[in-house]
Structure 1
Amino acid sequence: MALVDLLALKQHEVVSIVGSGGKTTLLNALAQIYHKQKILMTTTTKIFPPTQDLYQSAILTNTASTSAANGVTLWGIPNVNGKLSAPNLALLKKQLINYDKILIEADGAKRKPLKAWADFEPVVISDTTITIGILPLNICGQKINASLVHRLDIFLALGDFYLGQVINPTVLARVISHPQGLFKGARGRKILLLNRVASPQTKAWAQQVVAALPAQCRADLSLIVGGNFKEQQEWKKYGKTSN
């Protein structure tokens, strides 16, 4: 199925995207899918600015009133590193009612495929109606090290992991299900998105990740999907979930 059909977003949603290995790609993809509606694309952390073809208007200052015409509005504050920082969150929350979909990159991973979460992460605002947690499956088979994992020391403590340990579906299931893991601070419906699922091997790993999740974790998830943005392939629903 198409990802948009599986996600089945309602007319008004506040979507916070957390995790690693595809957050910005998902943010941009959702913005384009719904671009005929009133879409606000923003961050509660920091993001690299999307290319100008991905939005129709931009707000680059903190303002008490933002435009809400049909199309994609980008809102972020330029910083010295060339990224966009979060707008004032109190101002952001006041504008949510004016848009059909608010798409928020609410986490950062320093462009690494895995991460752990400091006390202040992720930044999921209370108005969030869906938290999408994303992880890449093609990381399986590689070894835990500083070049692959953001906040390595915290990551090692998530599951009594160790440097050089081979990343497998059981490791990823622990990252997903740990109270301080992927859905730490999640609000609203929780969706697990397994990215880079394309080959027979990664499809098998996706099944194994889902099987390794504790029953309560699976029950807490509204949806588990797997697929690959780059190949524009059909996305698949995994596992028996509730809600």
Structure 2
Amino acid sequence: MENFSSSLIEVLNLEKDFIISVSGSGGKTTFCKGLSLELYKKHLLNRNISMLFSTTTKIGDFSDNEFKKIFFNSEEEIDISLFEKVEGLYLTGIKNDRKISALPLKILENVVDKFSYTILETDGSKRKMIKAWNDTEPVYLSKTTISIGIIPIKAIEMEINNLNIHRFEIFESKFNLKKKNKIDIELMAEIITNKEGLFKNSIGKKILFINQVETEEEFEYAKKLANSIEKNSVIEKVIIASLLDKKFYEYKKSSDNL
């Protein structure tokens, strides 16, 4: 990728005191963990800076030692006083089996006020490349300042079926497949821009994050996709990225180059 950055903080142009909500598929948890850890390392010596990674639905548990963990066994056991003097990087939620469930939204609204930065996953994708959204998701905190929608470019040319798409029946009903058998640029653009699609319920600044761009061909696909949604005034920034290679490129609209 040309003129790429290796920093998520840099390419997203992040400022202090933000609440980022992330939806989509093909890299959500990797993105959230990566940004959390980058923020943590940047502010390692500043005890006045604190970071929170959590969810408004459910996420899988993980064992990264950098995260301090505040877990509860049930809603009844939640003690908000545990968040009064936080410093460093935290993961919180209600722990059950191998999943971490969200704190009730009213409580989470108070918890995020204790942190300098908050990063939230807002939906699930069952590890599938493409998904549709049901009536209960994504779940956005009202204090969200930035909404990031993630979609993998490797889904291009992928067969449209139940094995590859989470909530396939909803997907068929919400998006105009035009008798397509495979995902193409046109359909992916609709997933992004449709009011029932990637940015459904989103709040604040909206950033599209096209992930899994590891080859020149995929980079060209990603630029075509970005170009196809250029007239969508809702999306304020497009990042073409490889979380795997830690390479991030900000797509510039044609009007920016005039």
TM over 0.5: yes
Aligned with 1:46 (options 58, 63, 80): 58
**Which portions of structure 1, spanning 4 or more consecutive aligned residues, are displaced by more than 3 angstroms?**
none
SS at match of 1:95: helix
Matched to 1:34, the amino acid is L
Aligned with 2:135 (options 97, 119, 122): 119
Partner of 1:78: 95
Using a 3 Å threshold, how does the CA distance of structure 1 residues 54 and 158 change in structure 2: closer, same or farther? Answer: farther
Contact preservation (8 Å) 1:63, 1:91: no
Query: In the TM superposition, what is the alpha-carbon distance from 1:189 to its structure 2 partner?
Result: 0.4
Q: Is residue 109 from structure 1 mapped to residue 143 from structure 2 by the alignment? A: no
For residues 193 and 66 of structure 2, the distance between their equivalents in structure 1, rounded to whole angstroms, comes to 33
TM-score, structure 2 as length reference: 0.87
Partner of 1:210: 226
Partner of 2:71: 59
Q: Which runs of 5+ in 2 are unaligned?
A: 44-48
Contact preservation (8 Å) 1:193, 1:225: yes
Using a 3 Å threshold, how does the CA distance of structure 1 residues 173 and 164 change in structure 2: closer, same or farther? Answer: closer
Partner of 1:232: 246
For residues 115 and 163 of structure 1, the distance between their equivalents in structure 2, rounded to whole angstroms, comes to 18
Deviations 1:20-60 (A, max 9, x none): 01000011011101113301111010001122324023333
Using a 3 Å threshold, how does the CA distance of structure 1 residues 214 and 77 change in structure 2: closer, same or farther? Answer: same
Matched to 1:19, the amino acid is G
Aligned with 2:106 (options 81, 90, 115): 90
Contact preservation (8 Å) 2:25, 2:125: yes
SS at match of 2:151: strand
Q: Relative contact order (alpha carbons < 8 A, sep ≥ 6): 1 or 2 greater? A: 2
Using a 3 Å threshold, how does the CA distance of structure 1 residues 195 and 147 change in structure 2: closer, same or farther? Answer: same
What is the RMSD of the two structures over their aligned residues, measured on CA atoms? 1.8
Query: In the TM superposition, what is the alpha-carbon distance from 1:150 to its structure 2 partner?
Result: 0.5
Matched to 2:246, the amino acid is Q
Contact preservation (8 Å) 1:156, 1:162: no
Matched to 1:108, the amino acid is G
Using a 3 Å threshold, how does the CA distance of structure 1 residues 237 and 52 change in structure 2: closer, same or farther? Answer: closer
Matched to 1:130, the amino acid is I
For residues 182 and 54 of structure 1, the distance between their equivalents in structure 2, rounded to whole angstroms, comes to 30
Query: In the TM superposition, what is the alpha-carbon distance from 1:70 to its structure 2 partner?
Result: 2.1
For residues 254 and 127 of structure 2, the distance between their equivalents in structure 1, rounded to whole angstroms, comes to 30
Using a 3 Å threshold, how does the CA distance of structure 1 residues 162 and 127 change in structure 2: closer, same or farther? Answer: same
Contact preservation (8 Å) 2:24, 2:198: yes
Contact preservation (8 Å) 1:117, 1:181: yes
Q: Which has the larger radius of gyration?
A: 2
For residues 31 and 128 of structure 1, the distance between their equivalents in structure 2, rounded to whole angstroms, comes to 16
Aligned with 1:190 (options 206, 209, 217): 206
Count residues with an aligned counterpart.
Answer: 238
For residues 54 and 107 of structure 1, the distance between their equivalents in structure 2, rounded to whole angstroms, comes to 24
Aligned with 1:140 (options 147, 156, 159): 156
SS at match of 2:191: helix
For residues 92 and 179 of structure 2, the distance between their equivalents in structure 1, rounded to whole angstroms, comes to 39
Matched to 2:115, the amino acid is Y
For residues 96 and 59 of structure 1, the distance between their equivalents in structure 2, rounded to whole angstroms, comes to 15
Query: In the TM superposition, what is the alpha-carbon distance from 1:63 to its structure 2 partner?
Result: 2.2
Contact preservation (8 Å) 1:222, 1:241: no
Query: In the TM superposition, what is the alpha-carbon distance from 1:166 to its structure 2 partner?
Result: 1.3
For residues 241 and 45 of structure 1, the distance between their equivalents in structure 2, rounded to whole angstroms, comes to 37
SS at match of 2:150: strand
For residues 210 and 57 of structure 1, the distance between their equivalents in structure 2, rounded to whole angstroms, comes to 38
